[in-house]
Amino acid sequence: MASQSTAAKGRRGRKAGENAVPSSVQVLDRSLHLLSIVADNDGSTLTDLADHTGMAPSTVHRLLTSLANHGMLAHDPESGEWTVGVRAFEIGNAFLRYRKLGSISRPFLKRLMDACGETANVAIEDEGDVVFISQIESHAPMRAFFRPGRRGPIHASGIGKAILSTWSDTDIGQMLSGKTLAHFTAHTLDTLPALLKDIQQIRARGWSIDDEEHTLGMRCIAAPVFNEHGEAIAGISISGPAVRLPKNKLDVFGPVIHRTADELTQAMGGRKPHEL
């Protein structure tokens, strides 16, 4: 063992190794590092891992076996490959259960509100509606407000259209077939062609605009948030009086919201569609 001579070694002198994660339990660090490598490479062999980490093969083997005993890894004796196990899947999925969109999104909404000065919202899609989950209100005296749990029309809301934009035209048509596209204001896109045309733009741009389509005098900018399957399950938006959100502001805030949505996607363990 490379003894780092002299005294310098702080009580818990962590190996000089590559592992940047600060921590305190060596076996765990090493094991989880192995687990990560296996997960990221869709399987590895003992020697690969030993080489990769610089640990003794016997040590690596012991750790792998132990992880496997807990179902975190699986071992194919044929190929000698170690792969991620079911238990890891089960445990990982517990994440979804208390990944409350509400709580995770909160800091992101706060940042959005600070950056834009307008009320920020999260909403999900459910059975053809948009359901508002949570919001952070702007400090302005005149501001948008949606009560959590409130439903809104998917075709006439920034978040709704952002979500729709991730679907194919035929899927959109199917979802909306049967329903009539309710008319709210002179701006409402209440025909399928009009809606699809707007959605075309949203796809290209990455974020949607609700230009007084639901409420006169109110504009929204929104972008979609994806789940682990690359499906848009939610969206975030800012909304405020049209007078405070003129064209040039839209162009500035749009990308901000788009970026924030992507960050939220990541924070929730989701991924954008095309990747992978």
Beta strands in the chain (DSSP E): 73-76, 81-84, 119-126, 129-136, 151-153, 208-211, 218-226, 232-241
CA 232/CA 122 separation, integer angstroms: 13
* 66 touches its own copies (CB under 8 A): yes
List residues binding DNA (CB under 7 A): 1, 3, 11-15, 24-28, 30, 45-48, 55-59, 61-63, 65, 75, 77, 80
Q: What angle do the packed helices 101-116 and 247-267 form, to 10 degrees? A: 150
* 28 touches its own copies (CB under 8 A): yes
* 142 touches its own copies (CB under 8 A): no
Min dist CB 59 to DNA, Å, is 3
CA 140/CA 59 separation, integer angstroms: 61
Min dist CB 153 to its own copies, Å, is 16
Q: Which is nearer to its own copies, 62 or 205 (CB)?
A: 62
* 103 touches its own copies (CB under 8 A): yes
* 92 touches its own copies (CB under 8 A): yes
Nearest to 17 by CA among 41, 34, 42: 34
Could you tell me the CA-to-CA distances from 214 to 137, 153, 196, 201 in Å, in that order?
19, 8, 17, 19
Question: Which of 13, 42, 180, 275 lies at the binding interface for its own copies (CB under 8 A)?
Answer: 42
Please tell me the number of Cα atoms within 13 Å of 88 on its side-chain side. Answer: 15
Residue 44 has what DSSP assignment?
B
Residues 180-199 that bind its own copies (CB under 8 A): none
Applying CB under 8 A, which residues contact its own copies? 21-25, 27-29, 31-32, 35-36, 38-40, 42-43, 62-63, 65-67, 69-70, 72, 83-98, 102-103, 106, 124, 126-128, 131, 133-134, 139, 141, 147-149, 151, 228-229, 267-269, 276
